[in-house]
């Protein structure tokens, strides 16, 4: 115990000397240390990286730091050094605006389009959407479910879901809206840097976060009837990212689903929001994802049928999907 105490005091002495040499003020150092502690504790790459080395290298980026703002280059350096391709730093918004409103999509919009193509096939084109407003997420989920229900009423033979414009944001309203179509209890799973697993599951008209025996409702549908199981062709591309990849994972492994296009961007990782003392914001990749069959996802998700989207028009792309849907419909999988 005595040796440990001496070693701890010695380490503090070295750190104090180092920061003095770098001419960093106590306020700036405390601010950065809090950010560093949160990142080190919660990053899903915690066990893969030498955080002591990262700390020392980050301090070099804030020589002469006196204010919180002077530490921003060091925080950006730290997040880039994680090499998770997903974490980012956002400084405080100007004029006292809310960081949440700055990061949220404009309220009132619908982040997808729905149509019938070729007379018999439903087409959904998903778009990026980001909000933590429960009422708005509920509105989006209801709208998505209503579009799917209307397609069912029109007796479509199959669905095409285009993920190529879905670059990220919020997963919940999409998972909730699609749940009656997926017909599975487990929609998506997350695994943190300690190996703890949690799941997003479907139950009745809602989706829930499940951890061991505890469940918490995340989103719900006003009206709910299970939808008919249809063949589903999913199109992905290099801009399908983050939330887009997680929504995609909820469909993977289903016997009536086939994916087409290009590999996704490769950031299917869950995020943690870290708010700092001056309202600056770190969006940190804190968990990996897995599907209902316990397959883990950390990098790009490969399509079942791969081709370069730049070589195809939108019409040609959807024609490929329709050809497969027609094969399934007439009984030739």
Counting residues of the chain whose pLDDT is more than 90, the rounded percentage is: 83
Q: What is the pLDDT of residue 21?
A: 83
Alpha carbon separation from 282 to 38, 41, 259, 276 (Å, rounded): 10, 13, 33, 8
pLDDT over threshold 50, residue 99:
yes
pLDDT in tens, 196-213: 999 999 999 999 999 888
Q: Strand order in 158-162's β-sheet?
A: 112-117, 121-126, 158-162, 232-236, 257-261, 305-306
pLDDT in tens, 241-252: 999 999 999 999
Most confident of 1-15, 198-212, 318-332: 198-212
Q: Which are the contacts of 232, defined by CB distance < 8 A and separation ≥ 6?
A: 158, 159, 160, 161, 181, 251, 254, 256, 257, 258
Domain spanning 103-185+218-269+296-329: CATH superfamily: 2-enoyl-CoA Hydratase; Chain A, domain 1 (3.90.226.10)
Is residue 148 within 8 A of residue 221, CB to CB? The reply is no
**Residue 4: pLDDT band with limits 50, 70, 90:** very low
**Short-list 89, 104, 103, CA closest to 31:** 89
**Residue 301: pLDDT band with limits 50, 70, 90:** very high
Q: What is the pLDDT of residue 7?
A: 40
Q: What is the pLDDT of residue 212?
A: 84
Alpha carbon separation from 137 to 92, 114, 169, 179 (Å, rounded): 25, 18, 12, 14
Q: What is the pLDDT of residue 304?
A: 97
State the average pLDDT over residues 310-322.
94
pLDDT over threshold 60, residue 12:
no
Q: What is the DSSP letter of 309?
A: G
**Short-list 112, 156, 131, 203, CA closest to 321:** 156
Orientation angle between helical segments 72-81 and 26-42, nearest 10 degrees: 20
Whole-model pTM? 0.89
DSSP string for residues in 85-105: S--EEEPPPGGG--HHHHHSP
pLDDT over threshold 60, residue 144:
yes
**Residue 132: pLDDT band with limits 50, 70, 90:** confident
State the average pLDDT over residues 273-291.
96
The chain-wide mean pLDDT, for the chain, equals 90
Interior CA angle at 203 toward 100 and 111, to 5°? Answer: 40
Domain chopping of the chain, boundaries: 18-101, 103-185+218-269+296-329
Q: What is the pLDDT of residue 9?
A: 41
**Residue 10: pLDDT band with limits 50, 70, 90:** very low
Q: What is the pLDDT of residue 213?
A: 85
pLDDT in tens, 44-98: 999 999 999 999 999 999 999 999 999 999 999 999 999 999 999 999 987 766 6
Orientation angle between helical segments 134-153 and 172-182, nearest 10 degrees: 30
């Amino acid at each position: 115990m005595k040796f440990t105490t001496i070693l701890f005091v010695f380490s503090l002495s070295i750190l104090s000397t180092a920061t003095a040499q770098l001419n960093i003020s106590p306020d700036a150092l405390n601010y950065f240390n809090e950010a560093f502690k949160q990142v080190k504790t919660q990053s899903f790459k915690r066990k893969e990286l030498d955080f002591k080395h990262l700390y020392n290298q980050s301090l070099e980026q804030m020589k002469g730091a006196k204010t919180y703002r002077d530490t921003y280059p060091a925080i950006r350096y730290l997040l880039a050094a994680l090499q998770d391709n997903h974490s980012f730093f956002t400084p405080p918004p100007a004029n006292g605006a809310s960081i949440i409103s700055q990061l949220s999509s404009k309220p009132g919009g619908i982040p997808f389009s729905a149509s019938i193509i070729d007379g018999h096939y439903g087409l959904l084109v998903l778009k990026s959407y980001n909000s933590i407003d429960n009422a708005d997420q509920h509105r989006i989920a209801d709208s998505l479910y209503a579009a799917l229900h209307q397609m069912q009423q029109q007796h479509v033979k199959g669905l095409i879901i285009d993920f190529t414009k879905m670059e990220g944001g919020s997963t919940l309203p999409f998972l909730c809206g699609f749940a009656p179509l997926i017909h599975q209890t487990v929609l998506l799973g997350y695994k943190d840097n300690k190996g703890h697993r949690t799941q997003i599951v479907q139950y009745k008209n809602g989706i829930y976060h499940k951890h061991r025996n505890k469940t918490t409702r995340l989103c719900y549908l006003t009206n709910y009837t299970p939808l008919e199981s249809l063949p589903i062709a999913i199109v992905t591309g290099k801009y399908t990212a983050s939330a887009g990849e997680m929504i995609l994972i909820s469909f993977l492994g289903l016997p009536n689903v086939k994916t087409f296009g290009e590999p996704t961007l490769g950031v299917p990782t869950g995020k943690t929001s870290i708010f700092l003392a001056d309202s600056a914001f770190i969006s940190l990749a804190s968990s990996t994802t897995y599907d209902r069959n316990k397959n883990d996802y950390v990098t790009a998700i490969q399509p079942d049928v791969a081709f370069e989207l730049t070589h195809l028009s939108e019409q040609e792309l959807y024609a490929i999907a329709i050809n497969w849907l027609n094969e399934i419909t007439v009984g030739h999988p």
